[in-house]
Structure 1
Amino acid sequence: MLCLLAATVPWHRSVGFANGLHCPYNRLSSSTREPPPRRLLLERKLLYRFEKYVLDTDRRELRLGADLVALPPQAFDIIVYLIRHRERVVSKDDLIAAVWGGRIVSDAALTTRLNGLRKAIGDSGVAQRLIKTLPRKGMRFVGAVCEGEGLANPHAVGMQRLKASPAIQEQPSIVVLPFTNLSGDPHQDYFADGVVEDIITELSKFSDLFVIARNSSFTYKGRPADVREVGRDLGVRYVLEGSVRRAGSRVRITGLLVDAESGTHIWADRFDSLLEDVFALQVQMAQTVVGAVAPRLERAEIERARRKPTESPSAYDCFLRGMAGWHDWSRDGHDAALKQFYRSIELDPKFARPHALGAGCYLMRKSNGWVVDRAVEIAETDRLARLGANLGREDAVALAWSAHALAHVVGDIESGRALVDYSLQLNPNLAVAWQRSGWIRVYAGECELAIEHLQTAMRLCPLDPLMHLAQSAAAFAYFLVGDLQQSSLWAERALEMRPDWPAALRVSAMSNALTGREWAAHKAMTRLRTLQPGLRLSNLHEQMFLQRPEHMAKFVEAMRKAGLPE
């Protein structure tokens, strides 16, 4: 058992003998001390093993193989606490209460201990291979841990009866297993391994996703693995496996995403490419796989939340239930989503994402003409979006939606542009951030850049359920630069996904009217006015904010030609 006397008394009074280990036996006076009985020396003690490290909580030792790793006492207490509570996120207050006995401890002191601990176990604040930091929430030990009662001799690791027992956390978690090399040439293993390492790196940029580190996932290399067993061993919900085949100048990568609890397949696909620059291809393939996997994970998590009972929902479950309504893309669906986001905020006021997506609900209310009280909704959007951005400084999704809400509803394009740019720095693989950036650039009049960003979003995530948002934004950008053929094309693509999407209907009506396709323009305008009977030229600005006056004038005039009344 770990002794935390160091948290309440000076360290020199809590240690025993010359080895600096606390021992209850030392509480005896010198006149009554006797050598401990032999049975105590042979007693089994609790050990933890991760990667090549063994943590002996009774001897207060951390070993790398046969070598003793030097750790300051408080750093040792921190790693034991993190490992013992690895099924959840540990807050700063939790650590201070456990390690420092609740005494006031500066952030610098805690950071110093954590940096020392990370250095000792070969981790870093950038890699976060073993200790993952969740901004404004805390940290969690994410490495695979085996625990068991082994002999006190730390060199007898092979004699321990170890069992893997990490709990599956609430948030989605995934391991990427080594891909099988089907090329028939063992010398090509490096390419398959490189693709997997890049996929792990790219997935790690999603702040809400727990990704098992490469060192743990690659312990399965070269041996058959049952995905359910892998899920139990590593405490993950999803397993991504695949294969790589190189033949001449071509390469094919196959990916398979599996639910580790049920063993069911969630997604499978293959990707073909010419082999030119090997390392560039690795990155390209990794981004392609991640772009396909990410939305599948989100859908699987939403379905999982739907199946859970609602008697005692957590903040995260409420958020996922809100996302189910969000993806319904109806007024009732978004109203239900907003209620769930508020419930999530009530349960966890520091959870950034429901703040940001709550602001996103008001954004969609404006875009679709569902606004009830404009002044109240603008103020509430401003409040939620700024809280979402402040609470989610390291959450690219929260930043992206907060950015768009501030730009479109509040009219603060500069803040929106700055936030979405930072979101893209945090996670350049996040399709929704490129989408939001595209819309914000449309509002700002930077239409060429908007088209570039929207094309990136569609390339990163070709199966994105939000694709109609990117397509309608591209349609509007092409309309503003005067390319009516592309404008009409992208509007029709958006309408194929969402026939009742007002943004796409507006562009379709305008582009067709300006190119003389009166029947198509009339059809789009009729459908738009059925959805929004109160829409007029005089209140058009209430649904679309364009910073450049000439763009707003072009928009109004085209809608007039398409048949929208004054």
Structure 2
Amino acid sequence: MAEERAQRRLAAILAADVVGYGRLMEQDEAGTLASLRERRKSILVPLVAEHHGRIVKLMGDGVLVEFASAVNAVACAVELQKRMALANEGVAEDRCVVLRVGVNLGDVVVDGGDLFGDGVIIAVRLQSIAEPGDVYLAGSVHEQIGSKLAVAFDDLGPCNIKNIARPIRVLRVKLGSERPSRPAAQQPPHVKPSIAVLPFANLSGDAAQDYFIDGITEDIITELSRFNGLLVIARQSSFAYRGRSIDARQVGRELGVQYLLEGSIRIAGAHVRVTAQLIDTIGGSHLWAERYDRDFGDIFAIQDDISRAIVSMAVLRLQDDRLERVASKPPQSVTAYEWWLRGKRAFSLHTTEGMLEARRLFEKAVEVDPNYARGVAGLAFVHNMATSYMDWGVPFDKPHELALNLARKAAQLDPTDHVAEIILGWCHMFPRKYSEAKWHFDRAHALNPNDADGLIYRSSYLAYTAQCEEAAETLGQAFRLNPSYPDWYLAFGIIVHVLCRRYDRALELGAQASRDVWPEFPGWLAVANAHLGNLDEARSLGTAFLRNVRGIWRGDPGADDKELMRWFFFDNPIQHQADVDRLLTGFRLAGLQV
């Protein structure tokens, strides 16, 4: 019957939401709700009536409005932003109520009083990528307006909208001097992704297990908070949804978050099963789901193990989703955090081209926000890798000196950022300042022991300094926390196992990795094969190693093999001569001049 009542019509749709709604509610729930009610009554409702619109629905921090005319929709949106800016005058920056607005003209499906279809979806997507205080329009709206309104536009070009097959042309209204300023406390230029963890459901039928289940949920919130690139909603706000049947989109709007993590726990005898899933609150789609089965032995060890596994995988999938969103945004609206994410992806290729692209993207991040520690740290890491990929035309120590200075700056900008500490530790390795490196790696681990990438770098540091037992354990943790590990994990793993004389294990990892994962990749495998007596394979890999190095060499074109090997031992900061001698023996057996 509902299908028979549904109708289609062309409509202009205005979608708006409040920036940082979850944070405002945490600071002052009663005051925020009172402010929103007042502004709806005194600003929104009169403006919609004045421009002949219809409020389709109010959604906590958002609103959906239908207009018969694109001109009326845009005029209402512009006036709405102007009046909101006036209402914010005299209000503390961290208490300002700032909107972002999207307007689209398209076909909608009418069912009762509600609207559905691409016409609505595109308006909501435009609102989600709009900057605070801005109005974003679809090209279809602009075409209808022509010169009928005294407003100007910035053309942001075509934009890929999630779940919409065709690119959508996007324009931003120039609001001039009356455009509301962006409150720095609400919307920093690196714009952290936001997440809430809902209380996991108890499927055991035993209320006595609630303490264990709440413990896992609280541990997940705590461990997620270690990733300071995330905005994590506090327990008090997310636990308000305990026992309620929830709609992800509605909860996302009410808490002002882009992602939800939810799950359930069932305890049966000596067995515990935990399920977890990560949800995109804008589209409602499930980004990741996993199930964990454990024997109920040490309850606290289980709690810690499961929490860390869930957190690590959720963060990795969240970053993947964020990168997909970046592809659909006009370059003018990409934030420092998103430039950093793109740079991180390019860096992980571990190729000359990838490093050059990573440097460009990290520079964009710092251009957007000069005080963004992650962007500065990314630049430090690229320069630290320069002698491996880009800049061998200068003395070996020069890029590392620049890298170390940038890494120090990053750590000063944000002393709580474990990523900056990892890179600062790594940058101390090349000038062989091992005690300083240890201090920073230990601090990074204390700040966040759940970052699988960080554990890979830490395991390498431990192997370079002959702490083999801990190196192998740390490497194993990284692989467990990120079972969908990339090839560069394998490359670092090979280094760890060769330095720790686990040659068989090094070859096992080598069989899994692509042959171009790292320029020096065949060299390490040559050493492993040589020490295992596989001399023909060792010589073949040794030849491949020299060919790879010459292919990216940026130094003296007449350099001999010994010069290339000198670079190898500079680029691998091995602390103890016994480990260097073991590598030298392997290379000689593989037929290399050292």
The alignment's TM-score, normalised by the length of structure 2, stands at 0.65
CA distance, structure 2, for counterparts of residue 324 and residue 454 of structure 1: 21
Q: Which residue of 2 aligns with 1:529?
A: 546
Q: Which residue of 1 aligns with 2:414?
A: 392
Once the two structures are superposed, residues 99-151 of structure 1 have per-residue CA deviations (whole angstroms, 9 ceiling, x without a partner) of xxxxxxxxxxxxxxxxxxxxxxxxxxxxxxxxxxxxxxx9968xxxxxxxxxx
How much has 1:562 moved relative to structure 2? Answer: 1.6
- Secondary structure, aligned partner of 1:525: helix
How much has 1:456 moved relative to structure 2? Answer: 2.6
Q: Is the 8 A contact 2:196 2:260 kept in 1?
A: yes
Q: Which residue of 1 aligns with 2:308?
A: 287
- Secondary structure, aligned partner of 1:268: strand
Q: Is the 8 A contact 1:237 1:259 kept in 2?
A: yes
Q: Is the 8 A contact 2:380 2:404 kept in 1?
A: yes
How much has 1:57 moved relative to structure 2? Answer: 11
CA distance, structure 2, for counterparts of residue 167 and residue 368 of structure 1: 33
CA distance, structure 2, for counterparts of residue 313 and residue 58 of structure 1: 33
How much has 1:505 moved relative to structure 2? Answer: 2.4
Once the two structures are superposed, residues 10-42 of structure 1 have per-residue CA deviations (whole angstroms, 9 ceiling, x without a partner) of xxxxxxxxxxxxxxxxxxxxxxxxxxxxxxxxx
CA distance, structure 2, for counterparts of residue 376 and residue 462 of structure 1: 37
CA distance, structure 2, for counterparts of residue 58 and residue 386 of structure 1: 45
Q: Which residue of 2 aligns with 1:13?
A: none
CA distance, structure 1, for counterparts of residue 481 and residue 253 of structure 2: 31
How much has 1:242 moved relative to structure 2? Answer: 1.4
The alignment's TM-score, normalised by the length of structure 1, stands at 0.68
Q: Which residue of 1 aligns with 2:292?
A: 271
State the structure with bigger RCO (CA 8 A, min sep 6), 1 or 2.
2
How much has 1:290 moved relative to structure 2? Answer: 0.8
How much has 1:486 moved relative to structure 2? Answer: 2.8
Q: Which residue of 1 aligns with 2:533?
A: 516
Q: Which residue of 2 aligns with 1:546?
A: 574
Q: Which residue of 1 aligns with 2:265?
A: 244
CA distance, structure 2, for counterparts of residue 228 and residue 168 of structure 1: 25
Distance 1:473 1:86, change over 3 A: farther
1:82 is aligned, of 91, 94, 98, to 94
CA distance, structure 2, for counterparts of residue 272 and residue 370 of structure 1: 49
Once the two structures are superposed, residues 328-374 of structure 1 have per-residue CA deviations (whole angstroms, 9 ceiling, x without a partner) of 33221220110121232233222111221212223334345763433
Matching of residue 383 in structure 1 with residue 400 in structure 2: no
Q: Is the 8 A contact 2:189 2:369 kept in 1?
A: no
Distance 1:455 1:181, change over 3 A: same
- Secondary structure, aligned partner of 1:178: coil
Distance 1:462 1:551, change over 3 A: same
CA distance, structure 1, for counterparts of residue 445 and residue 525 of structure 2: 30
How much has 1:51 moved relative to structure 2? Answer: 8.8
Distance 1:168 1:368, change over 3 A: closer
Once the two structures are superposed, residues 281-336 of structure 1 have per-residue CA deviations (whole angstroms, 9 ceiling, x without a partner) of 22221111112112112222222223221135433332223223223332212201
| One-letter code aligned to 2:582 | K
Q: Which residue of 2 aligns with 1:468?
A: 488
Matching of residue 320 in structure 1 with residue 341 in structure 2: yes
| One-letter code aligned to 1:528 | F
- Secondary structure, aligned partner of 1:500: coil
Q: Is the 8 A contact 1:369 1:543 kept in 2?
A: no
Structure 1 segment 156-305 matched on structure 2, within 5 A: 170-305=191-326
How much has 1:199 moved relative to structure 2? Answer: 0.8
| One-letter code aligned to 1:439 | S
CA distance, structure 1, for counterparts of residue 303 and residue 224 of structure 2: 14
Distance 1:564 1:176, change over 3 A: same
| One-letter code aligned to 2:432 | G
Distance 1:224 1:265, change over 3 A: same
- Secondary structure, aligned partner of 2:303: helix
Figure out how many residues of one structure are paired with residues of the other and give that number.
424
Q: Where in structure 1 are there 5+ consecutive unaligned residues? A: 1-47, 60-77, 89-137, 142-165
Matching of residue 404 in structure 1 with residue 426 in structure 2: yes
1:483 is aligned, of 499, 502, 505, to 502
Q: Which residue of 1 aligns with 2:440?
A: 419
| One-letter code aligned to 2:255 | L
Q: Is the 8 A contact 1:475 1:487 kept in 2?
A: yes
Q: Which residue of 1 aligns with 2:160?
A: none
Distance 1:412 1:86, change over 3 A: farther
How much has 1:510 moved relative to structure 2? Answer: 0.7
Q: Is the 8 A contact 2:350 2:488 kept in 1?
A: no
Distance 1:366 1:411, change over 3 A: farther
CA distance, structure 2, for counterparts of residue 484 and residue 462 of structure 1: 22
Q: Is the 8 A contact 2:429 2:437 kept in 1?
A: yes
How much has 1:263 moved relative to structure 2? Answer: 1.5
Once the two structures are superposed, residues 463-513 of structure 1 have per-residue CA deviations (whole angstroms, 9 ceiling, x without a partner) of 343x633x43443333334332233334434x25x6432454222111112
- Secondary structure, aligned partner of 1:240: strand
Q: Is the 8 A contact 2:191 2:335 kept in 1?
A: no
Once the two structures are superposed, residues 371-427 of structure 1 have per-residue CA deviations (whole angstroms, 9 ceiling, x without a partner) of 34334422321221221222231100111122112313x433222221111111111
Q: Is the 8 A contact 1:353 1:388 kept in 2?
A: yes
Q: Where in structure 2 are there 5+ consecutive unaligned residues? A: 1-23, 36-89, 101-182, 554-560
CA distance, structure 2, for counterparts of residue 87 and residue 395 of structure 1: 30
Structure 1 segment 360-371 matched on structure 2, within 5 A: 360-367=381-388, 371=392
How much has 1:557 moved relative to structure 2? Answer: 2.5
Distance 1:315 1:500, change over 3 A: closer
- Percent of counterpart pairs with the same letter? 32
How much has 1:436 moved relative to structure 2? Answer: 1.9
200-209 or 372-381: which moved more? 372-381
190-199 or 289-298: which moved more? 190-199
CA distance, structure 1, for counterparts of residue 367 and residue 543 of structure 2: 42
Q: Is the 8 A contact 2:386 2:399 kept in 1?
A: no
CA distance, structure 2, for counterparts of residue 378 and residue 49 of structure 1: 46
1:54 is aligned, of 27, 30, 43, to 30
- Secondary structure, aligned partner of 1:171: coil
193-202 or 362-371: which moved more? 362-371
CA distance, structure 2, for counterparts of residue 79 and residue 282 of structure 1: 44
- Secondary structure, aligned partner of 2:192: coil
CA distance, structure 2, for counterparts of residue 473 and residue 324 of structure 1: 17
Q: Is the 8 A contact 1:331 1:370 kept in 2?
A: no
